[in-house]
Structure 1
Amino acid sequence: MAAERSQDTERDAILSALRPVVDGIVATFGAMCEVVLHDYRRPEKSVVAVAGSVTGRAVGGAMSEIGMRVLARGDEAADDLNYVTRTGSGQLVKSSTMVLRDSAGAVFGALCVNVDVTAVNQAEALLGALAGPPPASAEPPVTAFGNDIDSVVDAILDAHRLGQTQTWAGLGRTERLELFRSLDEHGVFAVRRAVEQVAARLGISRASAYSYLSQARAATDPTTNEGHA
């Protein structure tokens, strides 16, 4: 118990030290920049400090699906730098997510920098059109940002269901397991009550959802197949 209190005190101190950094980065880079400080000890209310307004985050808000993936990876999580995504409203955002660790190396939060590069991308497209046909490029993925965890989980579920005309009853066992495996990889089930929420959306029982999750994890865990080669 004393060790846990000491660990929490250390983590609180790290977060407190980073709060002025949040404001300082946005003051330096201006209105197109947003910095969000996360405390993953409370996933549903992980945002403890925010400056700027690119994704509409607010203190007390939930983590995004990017944070869910970090949470799911635990202490194996690594920094994800200079990636591009798109918000639900169409903004093109260049981001970096830097994980926070305590002195024992345990991941407990993240410092995220988001820069709205929509205007820059539009200018680049215009210059490219003037210079000649631009090379084909992959469309950045849409990322679910929200201030409550339920809306983020719903957005991830909606994205996974896009293009699928079948109902849950119409999916085969392999497709069902793939859906749960993909949701698990996105960190959805690292969030409290997410299994119940997914079950409700799919119209299945909580027991069935837990069963499919267990089977999906077993199918991707190489240790479960040892001795069967």
Structure 2
Amino acid sequence: MNSDYSLDFLKRLAKGISAQFGRNCEVVIHDLSSGHVDYPIIFIENGHVTHRTTSTSASRVVLNALKHVSDSLEDKLNYLTKTHDGKILKSSTIYIRDNQNKPMGIFSINYDITELTIAKNCIDSLLSHKEDIKNADKIPQNVNQLLEDLLEESVKKIGKPVALMTKEQKIQAIQFLNDAGAFLITKAGDKIADFFSISKYSIYNYVDIKNKF
């Protein structure tokens, strides 16, 4: 690279990124100015991620940069790569250009996400379930809360607010509550009657009606 000042900045940037994200983050500076593929790596942090050093030969990204017209080269961010020993890396490739927009180097970041991928798979397995979380039963802290949850569920079963329910729909809702055991809760009849704006006498009549709807 032509500028020692620019190279010094890039090295400090590489050290900063690798320090910020830890030992799993490899940062590499490739020099393209020589036009040769024999040892293009001029600086590397956490080279153990890909087992590379400044004595390592070119990678495919270097060959691509040397082979193709500079105007066709675009930075590539947040893509997946892998090592020969099976590590999965999240990578980014940024071209370093001179005043004429010609690529003079490559700044690469390779973050080893192998362990994170294994952890994610374990977490996904633990969190997997057959039901939609929206339909999950609530765990009440007391019987009053239990009754409120059942009333809420009865409204969802009908699909409209109580004020818009027909008599038949209220019968369906109340029979759902009866099947769910809501009337086993002390004084549930009074609260259910108030909730549906009907008399307690009507409540028990509705319970006795066979659900024909």
TM-score, length basis structure 1? 0.51
- Give, in whole Å, the separation in 2 of the partners of 1:51 and 1:29: 12
| Aligned match for 1:46, one of 28, 40, 50 | 40
| Pairs within 5 Å for 1:200-215 | none
Structure 1 equivalent of residue 110 of structure 2: 114
Q: How does 1:30-109 map to 2 (within 5 A)?
A: 30-40=22-32, 41=34, 42-52=36-46, 53-75=48-70, 76-109=72-105
Aligned residues of 1:74 and 1:107 also touching (Cα < 8 A): no
RMSD: 1.7
Q: How many residues are treated as equivalent by the alignment?
A: 125
**Percent identical:** 30
Other structure's SS at 2:120 match: helix
Shift of 1:131: 2.7
The residue aligned with 1:139 is none
TM-score between the two structures when normalised by the length of structure 2:
0.55
**Larger-Rg structure:** 2
Q: CA deviation at 1:71?
A: 2.4
Q: Which runs of 5+ in 1 are unaligned?
A: 1-7, 134-229
**Structure 1 partner of 2:148:** none
Could you tell me which amino acid in structure 1 is paired with residue 40 of structure 2? S
Deviating beyond 4 angstroms after TM superposition, the runs of 4 or more aligned structure 1 residues are: none
* Cα deviation digits, residues 31-60 of structure 1 (max 9, x gap): 111100000123211000001121011113
Q: Name the CA distance, whole Å, in 1 between partners of 2:82 and 2:39.
A: 22
Instruction: Name the SS of the counterpart of 2:57 in structure 1.
Output: coil
Q: SS in structure 2 opposite 1:103?
A: coil
Residue 29 in structure 1 maps to residue 34 in structure 2: no
> 1:15 is matched with which residue: 7, 11, 31?
7
**Alignment gaps of 5+ in structure 2:** 130-213
Of the three residues 104, 127, 130, the one matched with 1:131 is 127
RCO higher in 1 or 2 (8 Å CA, sep ≥ 6)? 1
- Classify 1:128/1:118 alpha carbon distance in 2 versus 1 (closer, same or farther; 3 Å): same
Check whether the contact 1:98–1:111 (CA below 8 A) recurs between aligned residues.
yes
Q: Secondary structure at the match of 2:13?
A: helix
Q: Match for residue 169 of structure 1?
A: none
